[in-house]
Copies of this chain bind each other. A is one copy, B any other.
Amino acid sequence: MNVKKQSIFLILLAALLVGFIGAYTAVKVTEPNTNTEQKQDQVGKTKDNTEESAELSTEVPEDMTKVTQAYNLIQEHYVEDVDEKELLEGAIQGMLETLDDPYSTYMDVESMENFNEQIESSFEGIGAEVSMVNGQVTIIAPIKDSPAEHASLKPNDQILSIDDEDLKGLDLNEAVEKIRGEKGSEVTLEIKRPGVSDPFNVVVTRDKIPLETVYSDLQTIDGKKTGILELTSFSETTADDFAKELEKLEAKNIEGLVIDVRGNPGGLLDAVEEIMEHFITKDQPYVQIEDKSGDKQPYFSSLSEEKEYPINVLIDEGSASASEILAVAMKETDHEIIGETSFGKGTVQQAVPLGDGSTIKLTFFKWLSPKGTWIHEDGVEPTIEKKQPDYYYTNPVQLDKTLEFDDTNEDIKNVQIMLIGLGYETDRKDGFFDKDTEKSVQSFQEDHDLKVTGKIDEKTAGSIEAEIIDKIRNGEDDQQLEEALDVLYK
Are A77 and B292 in contact, CB atoms less than 8 angstroms apart? yes
- Shortest Cβ gap from A45 to chain B (Å): 15
Residue-by-residue, is A373-408 near B (CB-CB < 8 Å gives 1, otherwise 0)? 000000000000000000000000000000000111
The answer on a CB contact under 8 Å between A64 and B68 is yes
Which residue on chain B has the smallest CB distance to residue A56? B72
Which listed residue (B79, B90, B354, B364) contacts A95, Cβ 8 A?
Answer: B90
- A70 in the interface (beta carbon within 8 A): yes
Whether A343 sits at the interface, judged by CB under 8 Å, is no
Q: Are B78 and A292 in contact (CB under 8 A)?
A: yes
A91→B92 CA distance, assembly (Å) = 6
Q: How many copies of this chain are found per oligomer?
A: 2
Asked whether A77 and B354 contact (CB < 8 A) given A56-B72, A64-B64, A69-B54, the answer is no
Which residues of B sit under 8 angstroms from A97, Cβ to Cβ?
Answer: 90, 93-94
In Å, the complex CA distance between A131 and B239 comes to 57
What is the chain B residue whose CB lies nearest that of A85?
A: B63
In the docked arrangement, what's the CA distance between A200 and B365, Å?
50
On chain B, the residues within 8 Å of A354 by CB distance are 66, 69-70
Interface residues in A, total, Cβ within 8 A: 68
Q: Which residues of B sit under 8 angstroms from A431, Cβ to Cβ? A: 408
In the complex the two chains form, what is the Cα distance from A366 to B292 in whole Å?
48
Contact B85 A67 (CB under 8 A): no
Task: Name the B residues within 8 Å of A76 (CB-CB).
Answer: 53, 56
| Interface secondary structure of A, over-half rule | mixed
Contact of A92 among B66, B77, B408 (CB under 8 A): B66
Verify if A43 is at the interface (C-beta below 8 Å from B).
no
Which one of B65, B79, B290, B432 lies within 8 Å of A58 (CB-CB)?
B65
Q: How far is the CA of A83 from the CA of B100 in the complex (A)?
A: 12
Q: How far is the CB of A148 from chain B (nearest CB, A)?
A: 36
Contact present for B61 and A84 (CB under 8 Å):
yes
- Which one of A4-12, A117-125, A165-173, A355-363 contacts B? A355-363
**Chain B residues with Cβ under 8 A from A302's Cβ?**
none
Kindly supply a per-residue 1/0 record for chain A positions 321-361, scoring 1 wherever the CB is within 8 Å of any chain B CB and 0 otherwise: 00000000000000000000000000100101011101010
A434–chain B nearest beta-carbon distance, Å: 9
> Are A79 and B292 closer than 8 Å at their CB atoms?
yes
Which residue, of A71, A95, A290, has the highest number of chain B Cβ atoms within 10 A? A95
Contact of A72 among B53, B72, B83 (CB under 8 A): B53
Whether A60 is near chain B, meaning CB under 8 Å from some CB there, is yes
How far is B94's CA from A90's CA once the two chains are assembled, in angstroms? 4
Partner of A94, one of B93, B364, B432: B93
Closest approach, in angstroms, between the C-beta of A426 and any C-beta of chain B? 14
- Taking CB atoms, residues of chain B closer than 8 Å to A73 are 53, 57, 352, 360, 362
Choice from B70, B78, B95 contacting A57 with Cβ under 8 Å? B70
A88 close to B (CB within 8 Å): yes
Q: What are the residues of chain B within 8 A of A57 when measuring CB–CB?
A: 68-73
Point out the residues of chain B lying under 8 angstroms from A86, CB to CB: 98
Alpha-carbon gap, A61 to B471, bound state (A): 59
Which 10 pairs show the lowest CB-CB distances between chains A and B?
Answer: A94-B94, A57-B69, A90-B98, A57-B72, A91-B91, A90-B94, A70-B92, A408-B408, A90-B95, A408-B432
